[in-house]
């Protein structure tokens, strides 16, 4: 086997062990029509997600703001073993004709990953989806239910999952993010 192929297989094994992976190419969900980035900026709390290896903590939240160069700064925070850990990332609108399809990167060395806002009312809830095709044989995806508050009514979560499902996104493995001990001192 070629070394590159072995590398890909190793990479896949690590992905498969911790991420959500499915056969076939990525689904092609509808995204938020007339997405208004300015109304989307600010603080979002993560309510539920498909498990992601980079997000094992609690109290997960993001603060989106515009930089002078019009890129979007993302301050991602989570609590791990009692300590708040923050990382800064960048989001960009890749095609002005499709403003709800952002690209997100948390390092200079990684390419932008898709960050698609499938649906949002800007002041309560947002559904975000990220999917990457691997050789068009299978795909690895992430999905998040975000909210402006640390919790959402169960009906809202139920409705959010319905929207994902309607777009052929499997959210049966979604897990809630723990927000029980967040706004207390250090």
* Interface residues toward ligand NAG, by CB under 6 A: 43, 63, 65, 75
26/59 with CB nearer ligand NAG: 59
Smallest separation, CB 72 to ligand NAG (Å): 11
43/79 with CB nearer ligand NAG: 43
Smallest separation, CB 64 to ligand NAG (Å): 8
Smallest separation, CB 61 to ligand NAG (Å): 9
Smallest separation, CB 41 to ligand NAG (Å): 8
65/149 with CB nearer ligand NAG: 65
Q: Check: CB of residue 170 under 8 Å from CB of residue 79.
A: no
11/66 with CB nearer ligand NAG: 66
Alpha-carbon separation of residue 54 from 86, 100, 135, 178 (angstroms): 12, 23, 23, 15
Q: Check: CB of residue 170 under 8 Å from CB of residue 161.
A: no
Q: What 3-state DSSP class applies to 154?
A: helix
63/132 with CB nearer ligand NAG: 63
The values of phi and psi at residue 145, to 5°, are -105, 115
Smallest separation, CB 63 to ligand NAG (Å): 4
* 181 vs 58: CA distance, rounded Å: 8
Ranked by CB distance to ligand NAG, the top (closest) residue is: 63
Identify the burial level of 173 via C-beta atoms within 10 angstroms of its C-beta, where 0-12 means exposed, 13-18 middle and 19 or more buried.
exposed
């Amino acid at each position: 086997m070629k070394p590159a192929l072995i590398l890909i297989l190793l990479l896949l094994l690590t992905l498969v062990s911790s991420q959500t992976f499915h056969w076939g190419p990525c689904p092609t969900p509808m995204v938020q029509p007339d997405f208004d980035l300015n109304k989307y900026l600010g603080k979002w709390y993560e309510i539920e997600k498909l498990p992601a290896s980079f997000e094992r903590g609690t109290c997960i939240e993001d603060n989106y703001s515009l930089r002078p160069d019009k890129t979007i700064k993302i301050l991602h925070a989570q609590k791990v073993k009692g300590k708040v850990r923050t990382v800064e990332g960048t989001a960009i609108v890749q095609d002005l004709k499709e403003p709800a399809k952002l690209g997100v990167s948390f390092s200079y060395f990684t390419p932008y990953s898709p960050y698609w806002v499938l649906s949002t009312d800007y002041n309560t809830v947002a559904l975000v989806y990220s999917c990457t095709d691997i050789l068009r044989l299978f795909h690895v995806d992430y999905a998040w239910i975000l909210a402006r508050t640390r919790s959402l009514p169960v009906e809202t979560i139920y409705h959010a999952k319905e929207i994902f499902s309607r777009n052929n996104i499997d959210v049966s493995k979604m897990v809630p993010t723990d927000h029980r001990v967040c706004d207390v001192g250090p």
